[in-house]
Structure 1
Amino acid sequence: MINNAAVAPTASIPPTVPPNNPTQQEWRQKYPAVLSGILSCFQFILTLAIIGCEIGSILIDIVTATIYVGLWAGLFFIVASISQSSSSCCCRDRGCATYTLATQCISLFFAACVIGFDAYFLIQPSTCFFPSSTCNSSGSTRGLFYSTSNFNDIKIPLIKAQLGAACGMFILCLVFIIIYIVTAIRIKRARTKPTVYPEAQNTLPAVPTGPDGMITAPPVMNIRAHKPGSPLYHRPTIVVDNGDGRANDLVCPTCTTTMAVTVRKKLP
């Protein structure tokens, strides 16, 4: 048996659009994306310089005065520069900036490692961390372009250049950390700052009041100009609705006698 009962239509629920997060909007407004993008470019250039100096140093002498710090530290520098570049243009949310902050802190540590090892190797260029048989070897086994002159004239300057690039990387990491902290403080202050609304100006005229606080009526003004010897015309004080007209008061200027005058409409 077929059931012909009508099925009540179900109301379609429109898709809900998630509202904009005010925190993300504040972060995009306060965060200096242009400055961060410029810093990321300099970081990438310094990263290439550190890796290039390390490769040149290895080609000359692979044994002494190196532990390949520029190679394994350069990997973290690349990640830090790319994450900072993306947080400046592609992903400007606070979460991306927080991830960049973590990579910058790690890069700050490895930049300090590069500075420490390079400074130590410049003080003692003959430092070797390999077995004595390898450290005492000579010829092409030490490097593709190994020679005493190349070691002193090329390898040592490369280590000095790598030291300078590592110092620059250390400073750039510190600058980004400071930028992140300052931006977070500005957003926090903007939230806690009380909102000051402008005072509404009272455009209404002042109402006269008496000693008892009651509103006093304004004085009766003459409608017609005063003429000598003629009564003064005042506004009606009592309105009598008799269907034909209304009552007015006329005051004599000499004897101050009040006379009631009824004004009637002229019949057509």
Structure 2
Amino acid sequence: MGFAERFPRWTSAVLAIIQLALTAVIIGLEIKSIFIDLAHGTIWVGFWASLIFIKTLVMMLFITCCCRGRCCATYVLAWNIFSGILACVTIYFDRTFINDPCKCYLGDKLCCAVRSVDSFRTNYTSILDQCGQAIANNDKTALQWCSTGSPPYDKVQYLKAQLGCAVGMLISCALYVVIYIFACLGICFGHD
């Protein structure tokens, strides 16, 4: 019995569909989170990690229908390991921002000026004036309006959901690794 028989099509197809759903939800939650507050409580991990998740799930679908050999499965194994690592990174950042939704990596000046998407449409001129005044006076308290004003607690629920999806992605990647190892062990030890 060869590798293709020990590595059934349905396993990679089911895992690819699960990864597709999780990736779509991660991207959607990132969009919603950014809409609430563009700068605070995000490093946009949902977007850049999803680029790798998408590549992984496309390769998983590819080995389901086209390339059933061990070489292709090994290539997809490497992508699943990389996706698993990025799922861990997503978990880390989501956990960090759940604990501190005012955390901002853009620096005080940009964090002061960049707020919710709605602020761009309604009162962005007053925000720029306020931040310009705080910068001119070197007023650190005014620059950190998030912690003193209105922390984006609304986005915490979306970050928790994204964290759950990242855990699901990590589990699906780990399942692929386990299935791959079982298929390889079946060949290496000659089980029929």
**If the length of structure 2 is used for normalisation, what is the TM-score?**
0.79
Q: Is 1:78 equivalent to 2:78 in the alignment? A: no
Amino acid at match of 2:68: R
CA deviation vs aligned residue, 1:203-239 (integer Å, no higher than 9, x gap): xxxxxxxxxxxxxxxxxxxxxxxxxxxxxxxxxxxxx
How far the C-alpha of 1:149 sits from its partner, in A, is 8.0
Alignment of 1:94-243 (within 5 A): 94-137=70-113, 141-145=114-118, 151-153=152-154, 155-190=155-190
Amino acid at match of 2:186: R
Structure with greater contact order relative to length (CA < 8 Å, sep ≥ 6): 2
Task: Note if contact 2:98-2:159 (Cα within 8 Å) is conserved in structure 1.
Answer: yes
Q: How many residues align?
A: 164
Structure that is richer in strand per residue? 1
Q: Distance in 2 between matches of 1:190 and 1:82?
A: 31
Name the residue aligned to 1:88.
Answer: 64
**If the length of structure 1 is used for normalisation, what is the TM-score?**
0.58
Q: Distance in 1 between matches of 2:11 and 2:62?
A: 13
Amino acid at match of 1:116: Y
Instruction: Report runs of 4+ in structure 1 exceeding 4 Å deviation.
Output: 146-150
CA deviation vs aligned residue, 1:60-119 (integer Å, no higher than 9, x gap): 211111011111100000011111111122211111111100100110110000000000
Task: Note if contact 1:62-1:142 (Cα within 8 Å) is conserved in structure 2.
Answer: yes
Name the residue aligned to 1:65.
Answer: 41
RMSD: 2.0
Amino acid at match of 2:171: I
In structure 2, do the counterparts of structure 1 residues 157 and 74 end up closer, same or farther at CA, with 3 Å as the change threshold? same
Q: Distance in 1 between matches of 2:53 and 2:29?
A: 14
Amino acid at match of 2:2: E
SS of residue matched to 1:190: coil
Amino acid at match of 1:157: Q
Amino acid at match of 1:124: D
Q: Distance in 1 between matches of 2:150 and 2:167?
A: 27
Q: Distance in 1 between matches of 2:156 and 2:75?
A: 36
Q: Distance in 2 between matches of 1:177 and 1:32?
A: 14
Q: Is 1:53 equivalent to 2:26 in the alignment? A: no
Amino acid at match of 1:142: R
Task: Note if contact 2:101-2:151 (Cα within 8 Å) is conserved in structure 1.
Answer: no
Structure that is richer in helix per residue? 2
Q: Distance in 2 between matches of 1:167 and 1:145?
A: 31
Name the residue aligned to 1:30.
Answer: 6
Task: Note if contact 1:60-1:150 (Cα within 8 Å) is conserved in structure 2.
Answer: no
Specify every segment of 5 or more residues in structure 1 that has no aligned partner in the other structure, as ranges: 1-24, 194-268
Specify every segment of 5 or more residues in structure 2 that has no aligned partner in the other structure, as ranges: 120-145
- Percent identity over the alignment is 38
